[in-house]
Structure 1
Amino acid sequence: MNLSKRNNAGEAKMELQIAPLIDVVFLLLIYFMVTASLIKKEGDISFVLPANIPAEEMVNVPVELLIEITSDGTVMAEGLRFAAEDRVLTDLTTQVVGLKEIAKSQQSPFAVNLLPDREAFHVRVIDVMDACAAAGVKNLSFSKSM
């Protein structure tokens, strides 16, 4: 930046070039405008204060076990299959007792719903009912097969 120029008489004349100064001022102005819009004010922060709301009453959802009996005598409960040859159904009794304990721990009612096939033998339905009785099931209902 050359501040001195000599005129014809030989004396030095001081000149200040203003174009670079204006460029710097505009750059600073743009910088402060951009950064000022990014800063959030304290009043702009939105949040919800906790309110004094009464607690809702708990709803007891019943625990229900659906036991399907197919025409070939296979018993299905909770994704488990029990073979037609198993007449005692001890694994089914264990499964029912476990679900009954879960319902008891949740203080919910427990029910078993039997869904026999139209072609299922009555003796197989009685086997399942005996397994439920061994597990101590009090609520047992039947559903109509489709």
Structure 2
Amino acid sequence: MLNISATRRRNRTAAELNMAPLIDMVFLLLIFFLVNTSFVKETGIDVSRPTAATAAVKPNAMILIAVDRANRIFMDRREIDLRAVRANVERALAENPEGAVVVADKESSTGVAVQVMDACRLAGASTVSLAAGLPEQGG
């Protein structure tokens, strides 16, 4: 008589799960997301932007400068002097030559904002803009 259960036990092979392709795929995904992540630079203070109906998004605006209501100037999360704006913008443009400069805050005085924009132009920035938001659509 043929013993079927004994034959099945002898022919049964242990199932293996090869982890190497799974680990390779996880590392590839990690590298993909690290390479494609864009890091947001901040000015260091909260900026209240004025609204403008013609406001447009600047996709390559990587150099952000904020001027607060006390006319203090912030760049890369630190306060800088007006005389240091040009050197800081030159350094930032050396890292990202295509970067546009955005100057922001509606509560600063116009004179300081214009001086900051002028220093940015003297540093070699081809595009200097004032930050503005779109007006909220009322219900």
Letter of the structure 1 residue corresponding to residue 115 of structure 2: D
CA contact (8 A) 2:69 2:109 kept: yes
Aligned residues: 91
The reply on whether 1:102 has 2:95 as its aligned counterpart is yes
Q: CA deviation at 1:123?
A: 2.7
Could you report, residue by residue, the CA deviation over 1:81-118 in whole angstroms, capped at 9, with x for unpaired residues? 22xxx342x2x3232112212223xxxx3211111332
Distance 1:74 1:137, change over 3 A: same
Q: Label 1:103 to 1:30 Cα distance change in 2 as closer, same or farther (>3 A).
A: same
By relative contact order (CA 8 Å, sep 6+), the higher-ranking structure is 2
> Does structure 1 retain, via aligned residues, the 8 Å contact 2:121–2:128?
no
User: Could you list the runs of 5+ residues in structure 1 that have no partner in the other structure?
Assistant: 1-21, 41-60
Q: 1:81 aligns with which of 67, 79, 82?
A: 79
Cα distance, 1:63 vs structure 2: 4.6
1:16-60: CA deviation from partner (whole Å, max 9, x where unpaired): xxxxxx7xx82x741431x1x6379xxxxxxxxxxxxxxxxxxxx
Larger Rg: 1
Partner of 1:5: none
Cα-to-partner distance string for 1:97-144 (whole Å, 9 max, x where unaligned) = 12212223xxxx3211111332x1223213312321331112111123
The aligned runs of 1:117-132 (5 Å cut-off) are: 117-118=106-107, 120-132=108-120
Relative to the length of structure 1, the TM-score reads: 0.48
Structure 2 alignment gaps of length 5 or more: 18-58
SS state at 1:129 partner: helix
Letter in 1 for 2:91: G
Over 3 Å counting, the alpha-carbon distance change for 1:31 and 1:123 in structure 2 is: same
Q: TM-score, normalised by structure 2?
A: 0.50
AA at the equivalent of 1:121: S
- Which of 129, 133, 136 is residue 141 of structure 1 equivalent to? 129
Q: Is the 8 A contact 1:62 1:103 kept in 2?
A: no
